[in-house]
Amino acid sequence: MAGKDQAQNNQNNAVTISQLALTITAVQIGTGIAVLPRQLAKSAGHDGWLSALGGGLLFIILGLLMFWLAARFPNQGLFGYLPRILGKPLSLLIIAYLVVSFSGALVVGTRSYIDVVQLWSLPRTPRWLLASLTLLPGLYLAWFGLQAIARMAELFGFLLVLATFMIISPWPDINWGNLLPVGDAGWKNIALGVLQTKYAYNGILIFLLLFPTLKPADRSRAVKAIVAGLLITTAVYVLITVITTGVFSIEALQSELYPVMTLISLTKLEIVQRIEIIFLYLNLITVITTQAPFAYLVTAGLQQLTGMDKKKFLLPVGLITAFLAAYPLDIFLFDTYSEFVAYAIFIAEAVLVPLLLITAIIRKQKEQ
């Protein structure tokens, strides 16, 4: 009877397909949304929206590879089958690499958000306080696990709809001539722009940890969830890039530090004086739903490396992240650090996943 109750409890706590799709979107649409149009404008000019589209297609392919890998080991997460595929010594090195990379992503996400908050709303609030308050909700979710993170992603879905309405409000002001001629930047520059989307689309590695939390009957449909989640992200990024490019000139867009915030500030409502402040604090939810999966992945990796309960690492990880995020690093050095972190995670998703899948197929490894 106890075993039956436990099985029923596991079924009730399972992540649903819709939660999985929204979690994939939520983990990607974080602080990168604020600067992506500027980065794409520098690489691909007015064709930045094509780079955003290309980045989405690239990550959809990676998402399909992740599904095929996860489907070979349906009851194990990434850290469960890594040693089986690559051996224990190499798997421990890879887990350490993932822990360091996603710890860096925690710092970048937190620092990026508090920079925006200080610039637009709270310039005199201590950075350490902003960093701590930004991190706490994500760490709280990570404490309760993937199911809690997935449920929070459902709230993110509702807020994303509201934020999208704010973003498209300047639609009548678009100068469509700013987007023409299509392809004029050249395919080389557009491809370089695709590479610039690596930070904005990073994070879908969490799918390999979420897959075993699905009900067995839902796992065959997980491919639809990851594709749907990535399509939502792609649509949002393409829309934002089109609108910011159409409203600003390319020269102005390249010089805007946070073009999305500037875009929303152009909207004037009689009952709301500064709508961009509302968007700023709505964006906190997107930061939380990005930071929580990263914090979970970091602590789960540390658990694999040490054998200690992952919850014991949440406080140290939070304190170190808050300290590094609040450290007054020069903005140019921070941009270099952010690029390094983005490349590190992109390598994990674009190189590690295909390597694991190909090795598992060649060695005919899958869960019995």
> pLDDT tens, 272-323?
667 777 788 888 888 999 999 999 999 999 999 999 999 999 999 999 999 9
Is residue 5 over pLDDT 50?
Answer: no
Q: Is position 168 within any domain?
A: yes
Q: Is position 221 within any domain?
A: yes
Q: Is position 147 within any domain?
A: yes
C-alpha distances out from residue 368 to 72, 324, 364, Å? 9, 44, 11
Amino acid at 136: L
Task: Copy the structure tokens of residue 160.
Answer: 């994303």
- Which residues form the domain of 189? 16-358
Q: What is the count of structural domains for the chain?
A: 1
Is residue 7 over pLDDT 50?
Answer: no
pLDDT at 252: 86
Q: Residue 169: pLDDT band by 50, 70, 90 thresholds?
A: confident
Q: Is position 284 within any domain?
A: yes
pLDDT at 245: 94
Q: Residue 49: pLDDT band by 50, 70, 90 thresholds?
A: very high
Dihedral, CA atoms, 208, 210, 212, 216, nearest 10 degrees?
Answer: -120
For residues 164 and 98, the model is more confident at 98
Task: Copy the structure tokens of residue 20.
Answer: 């999985």
C-alpha distances out from residue 260 to 33, 38, 263, 280, Å? 8, 9, 5, 10
Q: Residue 34: pLDDT band by 50, 70, 90 thresholds?
A: confident
15 three-class SS: strand
Q: How far apart are CA 44 and CA 64, in angstroms?
A: 27
**Contact status, residue 360 vs residue 72, Cβ threshold 8 Å:** yes
pLDDT at 237: 95
pLDDT at 11: 56
CATH of the domain at 129: 1.20.1740.10
For residues 31 and 165, the model is more confident at 165
Dihedral (CA of 227, 357, 191, 331) sign: positive
Q: Residue 329: pLDDT band by 50, 70, 90 thresholds?
A: confident
Q: What is the mean pLDDT of residues 237-265?
A: 89
pLDDT at 9: 39
Phi, psi (deg, nearest 5) at residue 305: -75, -30
Percent of the chain scoring above 70 in pLDDT: 94
Rounded to two decimals, what is the model's pTM?
Answer: 0.92
Q: What is the mean pLDDT of residues 210-238?
A: 95
Q: Is position 2 within any domain?
A: no
Place of tokens 């004029």: 184
Is residue 170 over pLDDT 90?
Answer: no
Task: Copy the structure tokens of residue 363.
Answer: 């060695």
The per-residue DSSP string of 119-187 comes to HHT-TTS-HHHHHHHHHHHHHHHHHH-HHHHHHHHHHHHHHHHHHHHHHHTTGGG--GGGG-STTTT-H
For residues 254 and 101, the model is more confident at 101
Is residue 10 over pLDDT 70?
Answer: no
Report helix angle 275-306 to 17-28, nearest 10: 110
Q: Is position 212 within any domain?
A: yes
Q: Is position 7 within any domain?
A: no
Q: What is the mean pLDDT of residues 239-261?
A: 90
Summary mean pLDDT of the chain = 90
Q: Is position 8 within any domain?
A: no
Percent of the chain scoring above 90 in pLDDT: 73
Residues 195-207: pLDDT tens digits? 999 989 999 999 9
